[in-house]
Chain A
Amino acid sequence: MIVAWIVWFFLAPHLFWLDRVVSGTIVAPLDIGLGLAFVFALFARASALPGLLLGAAVGRALAFDGAIALHFLAIGLPVAGLFPLRGVFFRGSVFWQGAAAVFLALAVPRVAQFFARITVGATDAIDFPSAFGLFCSAILVPPLAWCLRQLPPLRSFVEGAS
């Protein structure tokens, strides 16, 4: 498990770096950051969430402007909003997964913008999605998240993993 944490800590910046790289290409709608938030919200073990979020926030702060705390809140608050709904919805449902992806695509940049504004901080990670972008998120994020949670190190942090 310790190895998984170390790998996650060093891998997260690379994932966000990859996110920046693909954002300038034809597969721009493939939002890896959103895929990570999706895994955290719907599939990650509750006890692992603070550490996963810290790794993601550090990685996002390296790849984008803004403080680590800002990125922690930008990802963490929408995740915390979705987390209790695990008990309400069946997480294997395609509609529920699509709706959760759209919610995250809407909420993450807005939360980041809010905290950037009140702290007079700046972040270039605020990219409000268009209607097409939301549609792409609903379609692409669930399969992307499925890939992410099948691979190490995230596989170790998914609920039910030993």
Chain B
Amino acid sequence: MSRARKFFPVGLYASLLLALLALAQPRVFAPLGRWCSAAAALPFRAYGMLGAQPALATNESDARSRAVVFWSRAVASERRARPAAIPSEFAACTCAVRGQVARGTRLVLDRRWGEIADCADFVTVGHSLVGFLAPRGNDADWAEVQLLGRATRGQAPVRSVPARVETPNGELRFVVEQAAGIDPWPLRCALIDDPYVAAGLQSDGHVVVTQGFVEDPLGVVPPDLRIGELRVWGYERDGRRLPVGFFVDPSEAGRAPLVTLWQRGGRGGVPVPDAGLVRHAVQAFSMTPGGGRWFVAVPFETRLGLGASVVRGERLVGTVTTAGPGYAFVTPLGLVGQEWQAVFMPVRGAVRDVIVHVTDATDERVALRVEGTLGIDGAGALFTGGAHGPAGLWLGDVEPGRIPNTALMTRAAPPDRGGLALLVRSAEVRP
């Protein structure tokens, strides 16, 4: 018995099972993890208290002016793209995206529910329908948008949308609804009006747009708003495709820095990017020679969420990756292997979404690999999109690299230059 226990330690295997459970149900074990981390980080907090008192960046005019230009150009671009099918009684209310919640299925906006009480449920970006307003909460809560996408356990379902697509075989009408986790694309087509047209489809990529139902009980959706691209799934036989499933790959507009709500009879509005955000001056210390990890002493009354932004002026310089009462560890931007969904603002021309991967980094520059329809084809600046934290934070100035689909970006100064602040929601600060 004792020999068996010696070579098969029950405690070790039980603790591994417990760790598996903690990984599967992180919310249940989160408080325990936070307190363990907070206790273990106490010495680091003591080291932090030995440092100088933090101060907010004072020379921010450079970044501030970039942010102002970015928002004015992004809003102007969004206003120009007003869909023709939206009745004139609706005024555009452009909102900045403050971040994503619920595993990226919801956007948090810079407006409270009470401010947008008279807005229609549908939400657009340019000519695309990106989702619908979430079930309304208290007037004082920040408004949220449910993105069109895959059904997620524990989240309220997104309403289905009547849609149509022009194919070489003719027009096809159907209802677009959330696909299940096992489906190959996030949206699926149901109630197809003409199965014969559908069965003859040999190609995909056709643009799916909304199509108004007569007296839609779920609420009116204007016609001709882009939802995404049709995807046909089926068997190959004798060189021909036998379709068995129709799906929609939703447009990428859900990661834009702003969205448009449609206010009935109102005057509309423009983004208020700083609404509800509080800045806490902090002192950060690089823990390694390469600056790959920073320690930040945080006021005890601040409850930080993972992914909270660390900024210098209007520039995003890092994100919180571990946090607890009184401390946070920050991963700075610009480390090799990082990927960001960003918005590129060229010196001239429209702003555009890009995905950038860091391939190399020095103290001054960051080499990027760029994904996106137009990419980075001239000098400009990169800003955060809506995917990670507040949108519209300046990431750095960029210029195209020598190799196609690459770019070089300026890197933020190390933490010992000071001027750092944590950007947190006002709700995350205890009164």
A residues whose Cβ falls under 8 Å from a Cβ of B? 9-10, 12-14, 17, 20-21, 23-25, 46-47, 49-50, 53-55, 57-59, 61-65, 67-70, 72-73, 76-77, 79-80, 83-84, 86-87, 115, 119, 124
Contacts and interface: CB of A to CB of B under 8 A. Distances in A.
B29 A10 contact: no
B16 A124 contact: no
Contact of B40 (A50, A62, A73): A62
A65 B340 CA distance: 16
Contact of B337 (A59, A63, A124): A124
B335 A73 contact: no
Among A47, A67, A73: residue with most chain B CB under 10 A: A67
B22 A68 contact: yes
The secondary-structure label for the interface of chain A is helix
B372 interface: no
B19 A12 contact: no
Given A73-B20, A83-B7, A124-B331, A50 B15 contact: yes
Q: For the complex of A and B, list the 7 residue pairs with the smallest distance between their C-beta atoms, beginning with the closest.
A: A46-B9, A69-B22, A50-B15, A72-B19, A69-B23, A24-B289, A20-B288
Contacts of B287: 17, 20-21, 63
Contact of B329 (A62, A79, A86): A62
Interface stretch (B31-39, B142-150, B164-172, B412-420): B31-39
B6 A76 contact: no
Contacts of A83: 7, 9, 12
Contact of A9 (B24, B33, B39, B289): B39
A49 B9 contact: yes
A72 B3 CA distance: 26
Contacts of B24: 119
A47 B292 CA distance: 35
22 contacts: A13-B43, A17-B287, A21-B287, A21-B289, A24-B288, A24-B290, A50-B15, A61-B37, A61-B322, A63-B287, A67-B23, A68-B22, A68-B33, A69-B20, A72-B19, A73-B16, A76-B15, A79-B12, A83-B9, A87-B6, A124-B335, A124-B337
